[in-house]
Structure 1
Amino acid sequence: MRHSYVPPCLPDADITSLDLLLEKYTTRKKLRVFCCYFPQNTQQSNSQATFFEYLSDLVIKFPNDKFIVLGDFNVKDATWLHVPGGHITIVNTSYNNLVNQLFAFMTFTGFKQYNNIYNNNNRLLDLVLSNTVCVVNRTKPLALPEDGHHPSLVVKVESEKNNKYLRAPTRVVRCYHNADYNAVNDELSKIDWVEELSSEDITCAVGKFYFILNHIIDRIVPTKLVHENDKFPSWYSRSLIKLIKKKLKAHKKWKIYGRSSDYDRFSELRRETKRLEAECYDLFINKAENNIYSNSKKFWAFVKSKRSSNCIPDCMYYDDDTGSDGQMIANMFNTFFSSVFTADSNTRFSHDNLPLRYTQTFVVYHQYGKCL
């Protein structure tokens, strides 16, 4: 918890701001809260315009942050209408300058107004503006008697869930660049291909051909286990990941014991982590730019890593079925796609209708396709 970027100084208004930093492992979210009071006076319009401009710049600078702006705005002439989604919108957008600039601010930032509890005069003076879903309800007042112009409210904000995803299985990858190709050539030269394949039809011959090749590959080409890791970006090196883990341990140790020596160690590791992270990123960008024409795999891996999520949830639902592992989820997808797929019997293709000069070529290609 910390104070946010300092709001503008408005002598005729009162604005209190607070930032809540929500952090779990490598995921960091920030919730920016603003409590406002704009009294009715000749400077109200200018003060609100200045504050809205400040907020708009903040939203542009931090597009991933969540904002809640609530308080007494005293825009008494606004007419509100309930719309789907749990919020309400302004109907008379051009009634006066206060209404118009509030509507313009909400349109520009995408903020919604969630308070639909009117006061004794059937007006909404207290607004709850946010770019995340809020639920506003009545609550018991902190002091009696309650102000009839400003009913006591409680605002509930549902934080984003930390979804769990299926862990990618460990893959076996062949290291062809470390293979002994002289040994591969020796093994291939010992095979009498005519004897091995001449007595078979085309389907069995292709199958036997691949069986022989795979047998040689299994014996000569080395392998390694690859563990998928979505916790860190694709361009992080092993040394950087190890350094980050050391930094987290040092930070935890400092938080527990509070010793200056622990903080010095944590500060040193944090500084080294930032330096190495910048080096890894620059190295990755240079390699991606230089090799994008010959090998674009690293570039697209980086683009994929920028998505909010690249994984499948560890629990999915279809009708009354629940899948909690990879095989069950795959079967549910198979059930769904087979239910919406309709085979058109009129579009079946048969090589029996081909002219004779094409028939034999097509049959060979067809048999090869089945084997591959």
Structure 2
Amino acid sequence: MQCSILGRTVVDIVEAPDPPSPVVPPLPAFISRPGPAASRLSSADLFYPVSQNDEQDDVGIWVYYQNVRGLRTKIDEIFLTTSDCNFDVIFLTETGLDSRINSQQLFGNSFNVFRCDRSSANSDKASFGGVLIAISRKHVSSIIETVNGQCLEQVCASATVRGRKLLLCGVYIPPDKSQNVDVIDAHISTVSELCSKGSVNDIVLVCGDFNQPRIVWNQRHEETQPACSLLPSAAGTALIDGMDFLNLHQANQCRNHLGRLLDLVFCSSEHQLIVDCSVTPLLPVDPHHPPLVISLAADCENNFRNMDFTNESRPLNYRKIDFGALLEFLQNVNWSALQDIDNANEMAYFFCNKITQWLSSNLPFVKRPISPPWSTALLRKLKRIRNAWQRKHRRWKSSEIKRMFKSSSDNYRKLNAGLYKSYVMRVQTDLRRNPKHFWTFVNSKRKCSSIPSKVCLDGVESRSSLESCDLFAKFFASVFAEKTASGIDAETAAVDVPENLVHIDTFLVTPDMIVAAAKKLKRSFSAGPDGIPAAVYSHCASALADPLCTIFNKSFE
């Protein structure tokens, strides 16, 4: 019996028609051959799709969703596929993780990971279950605590991606709870709390495995189109009513092999949304849960306005200093200009600025280490080819481009997995000869070395690197006591100090003192807070003695 539930609509998913089919040359030999032939490629075998806009970044927001049916046996696989993927947000359900597995093992330093593992607080079962949201470290993100967050397998987070603020919720409702109305109401309450934390222009995105096979979701072709065409259960009705009340609409139409929708995508109705099946899944596919790629429209104007321009530039390679040229430059600087400055801090700024300007103009940048450490020239070239076809596939949905994207991605992944396996074997073999290399690899799996994208202190959140530094400075300043030593403490400390040891009024720094102190410095090439390495003071002490004397003596006045 067919019935309609009026007033419930979903986001319209309209696929753009394919553009005129591009002329694609025949597939290279390495794509048509099965097996790990990519490792035997030469540069002449590679076909690189070149176009005028290939180097432009994707302007949309790209989200990936998959029910992975457990990650414990797929740790290396998920690490390799996510370490260089181009998704802004990743939802994974049925992760099957616990506290013994670090998020660092799964995503490295590429993502901020927010997890809700299965526990006695949210499930009667001890294994499987769980959900996580991974957000690229390119974007500012943070977890959102909710009232009902602990009683269900769900996690909420916020992220600012390309000018838009996303309010995200990942959820897994197991089959034994999917028909429990109280469970559905608790999840709706969490989503309602999530919506209340945003504004009208924010995007609310809820992805998860709801296990509601009795609901047959319709595509919306007009505002009066009903959400479903089959009478759902009481729990299904509660889900539809709750999401409709919050103005969230179900957008996924990628059905599984049985023609059902178990994985649902709810999103705010004001924003353009497209949901497709993934061409290159991150992990093996369960036929009950096809992986999804979700694209959202970005706000290019706000993206430019909110860009963080305070990041540090690449460090200079101070080991390349030509001390002969630097010494000649310092000897020709008119240091007598320091006499016209009344403030010691301004004198120090003038001094450091002269040296750092010369260093910036005459030194190369430090070469960035090859990342990942098992990378080769061929792997990097295959990655560029894969990314080029991915950009084309995201713009045009033609079958030829889809086939080329899948083939290039498969070849890149095969070679990447083989190189990573060989790298791990080398690390294990070299344990005795190079234990430092071994522990570096181990620490990379259990520690995060990247700078956090957001810092929070006393309810204040940072929105840029500069604000994060200010919050750290505020925190460290709070642990220092501002107590001034009393006269009694000063007298006690000076009991063993000989009288008339030093007279500040007559104390004078001489150039010979500067040269003697500089010669004792360790010739380090690491720059200090002034941006000048100690090796500069040590090698150029004769040229720097006079200006430093002027600055030090001014500070004693």
TM-score exceeds 0.5:
no
Q: TM-score, normalised by structure 2?
A: 0.31
Which structure dedicates a bigger proportion of its chain to strand?
1
Which structure dedicates a bigger proportion of its chain to helix?
1
Whose relative contact order is higher, 1 or 2, with alpha carbons under 8 Å and at least 6 apart? Answer: 2
